[in-house]
Amino acid sequence: MLNVNAEYNKDIVRKSEELNGYVVFVAKVREYQDSGLDLDEAITSAIDHCTSQGLLVRFMEMHASEVRNMLFTEFNLNAAQEVWYEEGLEKGILKGRTEGETSKAYDIAKKMLKRNRPINEILEDTGLSIDEINELRNT
């Protein structure tokens, strides 16, 4: 598998007019999005750019609407996957932090029980419930 995005494997891309056109097209979509156009406008502008430069003209004449629909779906899926990953990462970090805090509270409670500290002090210092502390006592 080769990366054929702009700036990668240029010698291979130059050997195929269609591949070169595709690379330019995708780079233009990204460029137009980075300049502030929404995805649909960026795709339309990239199609216009390529056809004005003589790239993928015949293909775009026959399949422009399919290209637009496919890219719109693909770019939106990629964006959604990035959001899902970020949300999952945030949830994972929060879950890990919560589990770590709970584990620490249990460790503190165990130490306090070993030193025969009063239950109300253990409750206050750990934030655990009376049932959780009683459960620790019985283990």
Q: Could you tell me the pTM of the whole model? A: 0.44
Amino acid, res. 30: R
Using a 10 angstrom Cβ sphere, with 0-12 exposed, 13-18 middle and 19 or more buried, the burial of residue 30 is middle
| Secondary structure of 6-70 in HEC code, one letter for each residue | CCCCHHHHHCCHHHHHHHHHHHHHHHHHHCCCCHHHHHHHHHHHHHHCCCCHHHHHHHHHHHHHH
Work out the average pLDDT over 109-116.
94
Other Cβ atoms within 10 Å of 39 Cβ, number: 16
Report the pLDDT value the prediction gives residue 62, as an integer from 0 to 100.
74
Query: For residue range 25-38, what is the model confidence (pLDDT) as tens digits?
Result: 888 988 999 999 98
Report the pLDDT value the prediction gives residue 25, as an integer from 0 to 100.
87
Query: For residue range 45-100, what is the model confidence (pLDDT) as tens digits?
Result: 988 898 898 888 887 777 777 776 776 666 656 665 666 777 777 787 888 888 88
Q: Cβ distance 51 to 21 under 8 Å?
A: no
Residue 138 CA to residue 124 CA, distance in Å, equals 20
Residue 105 has pLDDT above 70, yes or no: yes
Report the pLDDT value the prediction gives residue 130, as an integer from 0 to 100.
93
Pick 11 or 47 by higher pLDDT: 47
Residue 113 has pLDDT above 60, yes or no: yes
Report the pLDDT value the prediction gives residue 79, as an integer from 0 to 100.
61
Work out the average pLDDT over 104-118.
94
Cα of first residue to Cα of last residue in the chain, in angstroms, is: 56
Residue 128 has pLDDT above 80, yes or no: yes
Other Cβ atoms within 10 Å of 31 Cβ, number: 15
Report the pLDDT value the prediction gives residue 96, as an integer from 0 to 100.
85
